[in-house]
């Protein structure tokens, strides 16, 4: 599960490891969300259910800005952006700019905060992941896919603490514990 690096030099898995550590999300869970959402591709866009992966951030930004300016999508656009596919219609204030939505760490923080919030509401990670996608049966199918990926890709615990302020290298993957709630 490796991905292209964004202009920031960080890939989606590195961002996920930092956010998981900072927000106390089980190691590897956010990376699995990213894998299912975008294949851990930082310049991914999903338009009304159609995924597109751009080779460069500037191309992704231009495409999304053009779509938003067209107003084809109305007040709540169905546009998901970045590693963790944050929906710009449901989360219009998640990013300071369209470009920041394609920064893996900024996108990861938005995704991690949303996942953490959903966990606080639901009390368990499986339901939180389901609601990250949709509070319907589609969400349950999505959560099953995320957890299949999560269980099949163990993560090695971080050898040194990471913070949102100091991006580090990608953490090797090996799970040290299972999710219990």
The 10s digit of each residue's pLDDT in 40-71 is 999 999 998 899 999 999 999 999 999 988 87
* pLDDT per position as a tens digit, 74-111: 777 789 999 999 999 889 999 999 999 999 999 999 99
- Listed by start position, the domains of the chain span 12-152
Q: Does the pLDDT of residue 73 top 90, yes or no?
A: no
* pLDDT per position as a tens digit, 114-165: 999 999 999 999 999 999 998 888 899 999 999 999 999 876 555 444 556 5
Its pTM stands at 0.82
- What is the CATH number assigned to the segment(s) 12-152? 1.10.530
Ordered DSSP codes for the chain: ------TTS--HHHHHHHHHHHHTPPTTHHHHHHHHHHSS-TTEEEETTEEEE-SSHHHHHHHHHHHHHHTTTTTS--EEETTTTEETTT-TTS-SSTGGGGSHHHHHHHHHHHHHHHHHHHSSHHHHHHHHH-SSHHHHHHHHHHHHHHHHS--PPPSS--BTTB--PPPPP--SS----
């Amino acid at each position: 599960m490796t991905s292209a690096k964004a202009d920031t030099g960080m890939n989606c898995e590195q961002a996920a490891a930092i956010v998981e550590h900072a927000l106390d999300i089980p190691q590897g869970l956010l990376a699995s969300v990213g894998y299912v959402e975008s294949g851990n591709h930082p310049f991914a866009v999903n338009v009304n259910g159609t995924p597109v992966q751009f080779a460069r951030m500037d191309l992704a930004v231009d495409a999304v800005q053009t779509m938003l300016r067209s107003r084809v999508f109305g007040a709540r656009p169905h546009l998901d952006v970045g590693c963790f596919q944050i929906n710009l219609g449901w989360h219009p204030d998640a990013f300071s700019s369209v470009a920041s939505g394609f920064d893996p760490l900024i996108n990861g923080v938005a995704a991690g905060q949303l996942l953490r919030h959903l966990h606080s509401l639901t009390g368990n990670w499986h339901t939180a992941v389901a609601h990250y996608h949709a509070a319907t049966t589609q969400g349950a199918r999505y959560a099953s896919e995320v957890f299949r990926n999560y269980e099949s890709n163990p993560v090695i615990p971080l050898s040194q603490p990471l913070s949102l302020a100091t991006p580090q290298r990608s953490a090797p993957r090996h799970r040290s514990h299972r999710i219990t709630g």
